[in-house]
Structure 1
Amino acid sequence: MTTTPTSVETSTISKIVWRLVPFLGLMFFINFLDRTAIGFAGPNGMTQDLGLSAAQFGFAAGIFFFGYIILEIPSNLALHKFGARRWLARIMVSWGIVSLLFTFVQDATQLYWLRFLLGIAEAGFFPGAILFLSLWVPARHRAKVLAVFYVAQPLTTVIGAPLASLLIDMHGLFGLEGWRVMFMGVSIPAILVGIVTYFYLPDTPNDATWLTPAERDWLNEELAREDRSKSTGGHISRKALTDGRVWALSLIYFGFIYGLYALGFFLPTIIGGFETAFGTKFTVMQRGLITAIPYLPAAVALVLWSRDATRRGVRPWHIGIPALLGALSIPLALTMQSPAATIAVITVTACAIFSALPNFWSFPARFLTGAGAAAGIALINTMGNVAGFAAPYITGAVKDWTGGYVVPMVIVGGFMALSALLAFLILPRLEGPVAAPDVRPLRKAA
């Protein structure tokens, strides 16, 4: 049954959406662009200049997640202790500085070390942002708000691929190769926005001067009521880390992230291979624009699918159906007989992955709260980061072994099929009610 929101509820959520979510989305945009910039650099001179094989490139892309995994859970617990404003600002400035050093990398060993350090610097950002939103947004509004936040990820490629190509085309600027110019160009915004974050983000609703007293009271009361109603409200972080439901969610997330990063790191290389496979010839900018094609429909699909989830309440099939579509489409893509057909099928895969992810993150908040939420969300994202290492490394190694990308993409499909199976089997068993949906559109607060 649909609950009609009160005027104070509507104005509070609207202010949160307009004041916080676009800024967090900008942070997410910069974050995803920085971690995937290597995917644009590889086929545009870096692989050749550093003498990398496909396996070495995949290892360099994936070792980022080793550093991330080591510090992810401690970082999220630190955010819970010290507050989002300080911790997220620290993370952004740190990764911006490390990212800037990629401009001067000289060999594979230096590349490995910098990717590892970048992971350490970025550790905790994404689960920290998810945790931050869960501390501000009641459950029945969460799918809608997460969709607005998550749309930054596909838009990173829609905007970022042409932007990266533009920077790469500035070959010779400051005497640098184009891919080095690109690394410089994408790192500086992280440092600048990180500094702004320290002054802009409020830690709690009580710190938000743009909320009225009535809005703050309503939000604090609503979030406190939800915490009391969660069956694991007393979970400490150690219990959350041994909760079977958290591990089930972690395995589902693993498959999605395996597909996400296999595409993110290797799609530019696959497009570069169209010249050999189909006899086509594209400029750097054209390859960047082609790379962006699947992600614009993915952003639209994300919004529409999340809107349906908001209207109905997030159901397990909101996760399972996209996982199944991704499992079937990704290995099919490389059997196509033209660049257009290949990109069309990859677009289906991108739509599937991005449609599921924001809705997926509404499940942990159904039964986790406090330090347990910080640890549980970090553990789930850690498993995603294991996939983030495995996907590029296995993809590159199997490509070197088989001479093509068909078998690596079949492996991607297999992991997404596992996510689909677990979504249909496990998610219905997760404890916690489906949030009553709010179907009213958001309006910008005065």
Structure 2
Amino acid sequence: METRVLGRTARRILPFLGLLYVIAYIDRSNVGFAKLELQAELGVGATAFTLGQVFFFTAYAIFEVPSNLMLHRVGAHRWIARILLTWGVVTVATALAHTTWQFYLARFALGAAEAGFFPGVLYYLSQWFPGSHRGRAIGAFMLAAPVSFILGNPLMGLLMDLDGTGGMAGWQWVFVVTGIPAVLAAPLVLCLLPRGPEQARWLAPDERRWLLAELAADRARAGEQPHRARAVLGDRRVLTAALFFLVFPLSTYGLSFWLPTLIDGFGDLTHTEVGLVSAVPYVCVAAGLVAVPRLVARRDTPYTWIAAMLGLTVVGFTVTALADSPLLRMAGLCAAAVGGYAAQPAFWTLIPRFLTGAAAATGIAAVNAIGNLGGGFGPLGIAAVVDSTGTALTGLMFLLAVSVLGLAAVPLLRRALSPAPAPAPASTPDPASTTPVPFPAPVPKGSPHEPQ
């Protein structure tokens, strides 16, 4: 039953959700390629241009929790369709930006439009997969991230080489072409994603009952849940997880945003060649996202693998920053990318262990919102270093420092999220084995033993 139900469910919903994430990631990372021309169009330095990422993730953080609460209320299928439609329109409209503030406004609008998509999908998966299978489901969904770079980077390189075609610059072609798929996918969400297992037509009645019983057992193990969003947001476990999660967006978005620039420094490459070479690290990421969640699930060792992957990231950034050979730099970039992405499925299995239902929707959104601020400040930190030193390679030292801090913080995360040990039951004496203590015989009045 377990193999049949969960296998069928995975085949029905994971490929489509993965396709949506491919579209989302391309629309989020296209600015890294547009940067090669758009920065000159706006006439700003690296730090000022990268500030657009801060606007994107600030809006993302502001609207993340409200978006996930609305998703819980109206249904994931309806709300995800709305998210796709609005972010597709905003991406296409970004091609009209010709001043710095227009660009900043477009990035803020995109963050507001896309807010809630990733945590919404994680919450949606928690409504379909029991805890023992959730890590592999999240890993399969997150495979879309490297796939988006493998497919999208060469595509965006080709679009950049269309510079001047049809009277549009290459960076304008990037935003127009990558925004259209989100608009087209929005109505498909309403047709292909059921609200929950109760509406799953591909499951027989006994299969639905089994799945609902497994999910109910997960909720029971999580214990009593807070009823107010304020209580969830004030939970020290949620806050600790959010602060720890900062490490991943800081490293992965910082890397993806600057990867085309780093590879452009390898030699005299065309935009198309930069796109092809920059897809290589994400082939390695795809392999990591298949292998690591399986290893985590085998012995339920999420913290061990989070630490191992962060260690790999530290090694990768160190090699990239210090090596002179383009081949060694590429090997370092591959290692850093694998570590930053492959640790995340293990991390995202931790939240549903203590939050379910609306509390899980709020908690996942809060962790993702606060953590994703790193997606803006990671590229900005690199840009500040690059502007001060004049070379993109030194900016990697910023990402290296972040990864080292994350690796050191894994034991603190484990201590904060691990359930407190249950108090030992108070021992009660066994009446049958208790020897009664006799009262002392009364002492006669006037006896020498009478207390004075």
Deviation (angstroms), 1:432: 5.3
User: Secondary structure of the equivalent of 2:104?
Assistant: helix
In structure 1, distance between residues paired with 2:18 and 2:331: 27
Once the two structures are superposed, residues 376-435 of structure 1 have per-residue CA deviations (whole angstroms, 9 ceiling, x without a partner) of 1011101222101111112112211222234432221121222212223322552359xx
The residue number in structure 1 matching 2:216 is 224
The residue number in structure 1 matching 2:4 is 11
User: Secondary structure of the equivalent of 1:320?
Assistant: helix
The residue type equivalent to 1:239 in the other structure is A
User: What are the ranges of 5 or more consecutive residues in structure 1 without an aligned counterpart?
Assistant: 1-7, 275-279, 434-446
The residue number in structure 2 matching 1:332 is 319
Structure number with higher relative contact order (C-alpha < 8 Å, ≥ 6 residues apart) = 1
Among residues 83, 93, 102, which one is paired with 1:101 in the alignment? Answer: 93
In structure 1, distance between residues paired with 2:229 and 2:358: 5
> Equivalences for 1:11-160 in 2 at 5 Å?
11-43=4-36, 45-160=37-152
After TM superposition, the structure 1 stretch with the greater mean CA deviation from structure 2, 281-290 or 172-181, is 172-181
User: Secondary structure of the equivalent of 2:225?
Assistant: coil
Is the counterpart of residue 269 in structure 1 residue 255 in structure 2?
no
Deviation (angstroms), 1:302: 1.6
Contact 1:260 1:353 in 2 (8 A): yes
Deviation (angstroms), 1:234: 4.2
The residue number in structure 1 matching 2:243 is 251
In structure 2, distance between residues paired with 1:182 and 1:125: 22
Contact 1:261 1:392 in 2 (8 A): yes
In structure 1, distance between residues paired with 2:67 and 2:123: 12
- Count of aligned residue pairs for this structure pair: 420
The residue number in structure 1 matching 2:176 is 184
In structure 1, distance between residues paired with 2:302 and 2:346: 9
In structure 2, distance between residues paired with 1:420 and 1:354: 14
The residue type equivalent to 2:89 in the other structure is I
User: Secondary structure of the equivalent of 1:333?
Assistant: helix
Deviation (angstroms), 1:232: 4.3
In structure 1, distance between residues paired with 2:99 and 2:318: 33
In structure 1, distance between residues paired with 2:285 and 2:55: 27
The residue number in structure 1 matching 2:363 is 376
Contact 1:334 1:405 in 2 (8 A): no
Deviation (angstroms), 1:266: 0.7
In structure 1, distance between residues paired with 2:82 and 2:419: 34
The residue number in structure 1 matching 2:410 is 423
The residue number in structure 2 matching 1:164 is 156
The residue number in structure 2 matching 1:442 is none
The residue type equivalent to 1:195 in the other structure is P
In structure 2, distance between residues paired with 1:61 and 1:38: 9
Contact 2:315 2:332 in 1 (8 A): no
User: What are the ranges of 5 or more consecutive residues in structure 2 without an aligned counterpart?
Assistant: 421-452
The residue type equivalent to 2:91 in the other structure is S
Deviation (angstroms), 1:241: 1.0
After TM superposition, the structure 1 stretch with the greater mean CA deviation from structure 2, 241-250 or 118-127, is 241-250
In structure 2, distance between residues paired with 1:140 and 1:428: 21
Once the two structures are superposed, residues 78-124 of structure 1 have per-residue CA deviations (whole angstroms, 9 ceiling, x without a partner) of 10111101100000000000000112211211111100100000011
After TM superposition, the structure 1 stretch with the greater mean CA deviation from structure 2, 47-56 or 149-158, is 47-56
The residue type equivalent to 1:248 in the other structure is T
TM-score normalised to the size of structure 2? 0.90
> Equivalences for 1:341-380 in 2 at 5 Å?
341-380=328-367
TM-score normalised to the size of structure 1? 0.91
The residue number in structure 2 matching 1:439 is none
Change (3 A) 1:161 1:68: same
Which protein has the larger Cα radius of gyration, Structure 1 or Structure 2? 2
The residue type equivalent to 2:15 in the other structure is P
Contact 1:324 1:420 in 2 (8 A): yes
Contact 2:95 2:175 in 1 (8 A): yes
Is the counterpart of residue 209 in structure 1 residue 201 in structure 2?
yes
In structure 2, distance between residues paired with 1:212 and 1:250: 39
The residue number in structure 2 matching 1:237 is 229
In structure 2, distance between residues paired with 1:344 and 1:315: 25
The residue type equivalent to 1:131 in the other structure is Y
The residue number in structure 2 matching 1:291 is 278
The residue type equivalent to 2:408 in the other structure is L
User: Secondary structure of the equivalent of 2:223?
Assistant: coil
User: Secondary structure of the equivalent of 1:171?
Assistant: coil
In structure 1, distance between residues paired with 2:257 and 2:120: 24
In structure 1, distance between residues paired with 2:348 and 2:224: 17
